[in-house]
Chains A and B, each alone.
Chain A
Amino acid sequence: MKQSKDIKISLLIGIIIIFVVTLVTIPLFYNQFNSSMLLLKDKTIDDFKDDEKISQIYINSVLQIRSSKLSEYVNNSDLHEKLEKEDYDGARENLENAVIENLETDFLFLTYDGNKRVTDVSLNILNSKEIVKGYIERSPYPQRLELYTTKSNNVIIFANKDIISKKTGKVLATLHSGYILNNKNKFISELSQKINNHNVYFFVNSSLVSGTQKINSEEEREISAAKYNQLIQVQSKLYFIGKILINEDYHLKIVFETSSNYIKNLKSSYITNFILTVLISLTLCLIAMIFANKLITPPLENLMKTINLLMIRNIHTPKSKSIIREFNLIEENFIDVFKKFQQKKSQLAKFINSSPISVLILDYRGNIIQTNQSSIDLFKITKTEGNILRDSSLSDNTQFKKIFSNIKYSPSSFEEEINFKAENLWKNTNWTFIQDKKEDYIFIICIDNTERVESQAQIEAERSKSIHNQKLAAIGEVASSIAHEVNNPMGIISLSLTILEHELNFIEIENEDKKLKISRAIENIESSVNRTSQIVSNLLDFSREGSKDKLESKNLNHVLSKTLIFIEEKMKRNKVKLDIAKLDPSINIQIKETQFSQILVNLINNSVDALKETDERKICISTEIKGKNCIIHFEDSGPGIKEEIASEIFSPFFTTKEKGSGTGLGLSISKELMLEMSGNLKLVKSSRGAHFEVSIPLSNS
């Protein structure tokens, strides 16, 4: 498991505070800044729109004042009189005085309905005649106000008033006045005063006409490209583009300027506030860390100590209470829960320990994590915190080791029957393995079946023995009756042969060859009769109930010869050679003959079966004397017995033969019979083939 980094709670609180403050303040400041900027922009636009309204009203009033002056002038009686009389020169004179004395105007001229006459007294440095002509041509119909732009971008606001005859109501003439807007410092500075001294500019056809300040070409270009009601920033200045209506057809572009410093101020104020917030947060964070260190860490450490003492040593030492109520509650609750847990644990431990079933909890290296008394007894565990593969009787059990080494590849839960040897006693056990691969432990339940299996085996052995005995008895009965039946004719044959021999002595046979042939035939018959009688006699001996036999001194060679009769046919059939060259024929041994023969048959029979699959088929029986015992070696040239099953071959019902071919009782019974005869049967390690060793006491004689 990955080890997480150990962080102090106070530091954690500090980090959380910084994290939360960062998470909250940055978007908050960002949004607030944006909202403020928007509000500021709206407010600036609103302010500029107010300026725009004021400018419109101011310009209207200025134009109105001029219009009023015109209205006043159009009632001039002298002018009326001159016009009524169509004295146009007189009218010009009157007008010339007016333009100097009363009317603050750059253009002043009269037009007349129905003819193209113009009385022009304009006073300006522009090309007045051309402008007046252009204006009249373009605007032949009555128009109160008009914005006129010359080719050289001079802008003139024209106004007119009808001079109406008091007698007839006729429009005698129309008086026009014109006001050049370009560089009117007085006009524009007065307007600027009305709008908090903001700089103001007039644009016509994308060109600057007039302004309180000079503006550079970049500013002029940006402003010209901007739309109405738009707020734009050029360099460090803000410009608002407004519109001043002169009449329904004409308007002026009015531009208001203000410094954009307050945007900078707003930004710097936000940055200052942000830094302050960060500093305050850091201070708060530091204070919180100190407080946490003072208030949380000691009670937590106390709590941990209490828990450790309780868990490791089961000691409850009441500590001074923390000022934090929750910690006290946790401690109280923990102690309570822990006590209940201990109680339950103790009950469970008692239950497991007293269980007759062996319980083991191991890790994957075989280390014992938990065990109970039954396990200790069964597996002869020497160290309860040791390793099952090292410190128990399972340490040399091949089957267990094999299962354990492959356990990771086995299902999470499985059962297995294991036979193992504990202090020279074989144990038959049923195991249930439950493993948790993630948590690295194996839970094992083991049930000892030895007694049950042993009694089962005994029953089986007894039953088998009984069947065997019954068979032998039956064979014995059959053999004795056969022997009886065979012996009688054999007696007659033997007697007849004796008579035949005797009678032949009285018959002269001239041909010596024939005589010899007859004599040999009779000898053969006699020899066969004797051999038949011998077999019958041996059969009778073998079929007898051996268990009730007494130990008798018998010649080993003699017993072996008698026994081979039963198996020599099988050996011949399987082409097995028997080598008894190293057999001492003089050895007499103390045996129960029938049972000993049975052991010999078993051993030779097993070898013959094992040799079926080999090319060299040979059984060697040799003897040696060891103390008071005769050691008979049975060695064959077969494949031998594998080491992993070597310890199990004397177990009842253990067989390597195919099902139905063997009972698995042969070696087990043989060993039992040898032990009955104070001897033993052992498997000896061999480099080639199987090697059994039968030890049997020598006869006293």
Chain B
Amino acid sequence: MKLIIYILTIVQLVSASADEYWHLDEFLKENPRQVKILNDFEKLIKSDAQEITIKQKKRVKIALIYPNSQVSDYWRRNISALKKRLTESKIDYELNLIPAPTGEGLNKSSKEIIEAIKEKPDYLIFTLNINEHSKLVNQILNYSSIKVILLNITTPLKSWGKNQPFFYVGFDHEIGTQILIDDIKRKLPNGGDFLVLYHSQGYVSTMRGDYAIKQLVKDKKWNLVSRYYTDGSGANTEVALKDFFKKNKKVDLVISCSTDISLAASKFKKESSFLLNGWGGGTAELDSIKNGVEGIDLTVMRMNDDSAIATAEAIRLDLQGDSEEVPLVFSGEMVLIDKQTTQQKIESLEEKAFRYSNEAK
């Protein structure tokens, strides 16, 4: 019986869908003990670094796999913030950065992960592509002592049950999208036609794009006109929008699922007036917002360094033997930025968001 369950679980993992995640609010409701841990942990993130309380017997090995071709400076900043916080915490560490080319399919990125595992790091940090990596992560969780930190995912996989990765850290897509939708509804109280520009098919598109549609069409004022998959590429976005405007004269709102899509879409604001969102509030997006009518209209700005600091803190606590003080999921703070946000406010938020990574610029 157990064998059947195991085999079927493997089958199920391959076919995991969005419904197999614990949504963050759902997870905290199911695990009320985590709320207290999370609140205490948040205080650590907002505070200055604390020195590690133990003397390390050996240098801690951390492996980080990152997509090397993203326009967003999210990863670059993340890496530098992580390094700095670890150093401030007087942790003796060795960070092995493994760039993984994006959009090259399952085998390529999985190979990078396998290579990283062979080095036997103490901590393995990477972004989970649920359809591609979950089987591999499951093996790491079951058969090795490597502690897995999943970046940019805040929705624990239900099927892993109690055998979860060490730490899920990032900025919750649904929380971020909700901030955007709330502001869009304020800006366009009468609703209108809207277009969705997805990333590639999968997790991010579902969590951001589908969630936005779900929230908007609850209100009959909003009419979904069309959807395009762009694979996160600016060129594809341009193709999509050209196609769209060939058949449609106007649209009131364009929902974008990533910075690159938003930046590409902003170019079409010369031809048509529509409300355009960004996602993440990185430097490129902030610059675009400042760019008058043609730029992005609003974005949700992640307090970028929160995730790196959280990762460093989780490692520090774990090394100290206080792993029970590490929450399973941590979502960093996100703030809405639009064209009305003053420069001073933006600078202040930038200072906060990049409190570690700015110096490394």
Contact of A53 with B by CB under 8 A: yes
Do residues B23 and A54 form an inter-chain contact, with CB atoms below 8 A? no
Do residues A169 and B224 form an inter-chain contact, with CB atoms below 8 A? no
Chain B residues, Cβ within 8 Å of A140: 217, 224
Do residues B240 and A114 form an inter-chain contact, with CB atoms below 8 A? no
Contact flag A141-B244 (CB < 8 Å), given A54-B8, A114-B223, A170-B228: no
Do residues B228 and A168 form an inter-chain contact, with CB atoms below 8 A? yes
Hey, what's the 0/1 contact readout for B12-36 against A, CB within 8 Å counting as 1?
1001011100010010000000000
Contact of A364 with B by CB under 8 A: no
Contact of B1 with A by CB under 8 A: yes
**Which residue in chain B gives the minimum CB-CB distance to A162?**
B227
Contact of B283 with A by CB under 8 A: no
Contact of B210 with A by CB under 8 A: yes
A367–B213 Cα gap in the complex (Å)?
A: 118
Contact of A113 among B2, B4, B224, B230 (CB under 8 A): B224
**Interface-side segment among A55-63, A213-221, A514-522, A603-611:** A55-63
Closest 9 pairs between A and B when the two form their complex, measured CB to CB: A57-B8, A168-B243, A171-B227, A64-B15, A114-B225, A169-B229, A169-B228, A247-B19, A141-B214
Hey, what's the 0/1 contact readout for B259-300 against A, CB within 8 Å counting as 1?
000000000000000000000000000000000000000000
Chain A residues, Cβ within 8 Å of B102: none
Contact of A444 with B by CB under 8 A: no
**Which residue in chain B gives the minimum CB-CB distance to A174?**
B227
> How many residues of chain A are within 8 Å of chain B by beta carbon?
30
Do residues B226 and A170 form an inter-chain contact, with CB atoms below 8 A? yes
A interface residues (Cβ-Cβ under 8 A, vs B) = 47, 50, 53-54, 57-58, 60-61, 64, 67, 113-114, 140-142, 144-145, 162, 164-165, 167-171, 194, 196, 245, 247-248
Residue among A53, A142, A165 with max Cβ neighbours from chain B (10 Å)? A142
A308–B19 Cα gap in the complex (Å)?
A: 94
Chain A residues, Cβ within 8 Å of B226: 113-114, 170-171
Chain A residues, Cβ within 8 Å of B227: 113, 162, 170-171
Contact flag A169-B231 (CB < 8 Å), given A113-B225, A142-B210, A144-B17: yes
B interface residues (Cβ-Cβ under 8 A, vs A) = 1-2, 4-5, 8-9, 11-12, 15, 17-19, 23, 26, 193, 198, 201, 210, 213-214, 217, 223-231, 236, 239-240, 242-244
A194–B213 Cα gap in the complex (Å)?
A: 38
Contact of B210 among A64, A141, A194 (CB under 8 A): A141
- Measured between C-beta atoms, what is the minimum distance from A64 to chain B in Å? 4
Chain A residues, Cβ within 8 Å of B242: 168
Main secondary structure of the interface of A (DSSP, over half): mixed
Chain B residues, Cβ within 8 Å of A114: 193, 223-226
Contact of B240 among A57, A170, A248 (CB under 8 A): A170
Contact flag A142-B213 (CB < 8 Å), given A50-B1, A171-B226: yes
A164–B8 Cα gap in the complex (Å)?
A: 30
- Measured between C-beta atoms, what is the minimum distance from A230 to chain B in Å? 20
Do residues A61 and B243 form an inter-chain contact, with CB atoms below 8 A? no
Do residues B217 and A57 form an inter-chain contact, with CB atoms below 8 A? no
Do residues B5 and A167 form an inter-chain contact, with CB atoms below 8 A? no
Do residues B19 and A167 form an inter-chain contact, with CB atoms below 8 A? no
A57–B8 Cα gap in the complex (Å)?
A: 6
A501–B242 Cα gap in the complex (Å)?
A: 207
- Measured between C-beta atoms, what is the minimum distance from A21 to chain B in Å? 41
**Which residue in chain A gives the minimum CB-CB distance to B9?**
A57
Chain B residues, Cβ within 8 Å of A47: 1
Chain B residues, Cβ within 8 Å of A145: 17, 19
**Which residue in chain B gives the minimum CB-CB distance to A247?**
B19
- Measured between C-beta atoms, what is the minimum distance from B195 to chain A in Å? 9
A194–B8 Cα gap in the complex (Å)?
A: 11
Contact of B8 among A61, A113, A144 (CB under 8 A): A61
Contact flag A170-B210 (CB < 8 Å), given A114-B223, A140-B217, A194-B4: no
A162–B223 Cα gap in the complex (Å)?
A: 18
Do residues A169 and B230 form an inter-chain contact, with CB atoms below 8 A? yes
Chain B residues, Cβ within 8 Å of A194: 4
- Measured between C-beta atoms, what is the minimum distance from B184 to chain A in Å? 16
Chain B residues, Cβ within 8 Å of A168: 228, 239-240, 242-244
A50–B225 Cα gap in the complex (Å)?
A: 45
Residue among A50, A64, A114, A248 with max Cβ neighbours from chain B (10 Å)? A114
**Which residue in chain B gives the minimum CB-CB distance to A196?**
B1
Chain B residues, Cβ within 8 Å of A144: 17-19
**Beyond known contacts A64-B15, A169-B228: 10 more, CB 8 A cutoff:** A50-B2, A53-B8, A61-B12, A67-B15, A141-B214, A144-B18, A162-B229, A165-B228, A165-B243, A169-B239
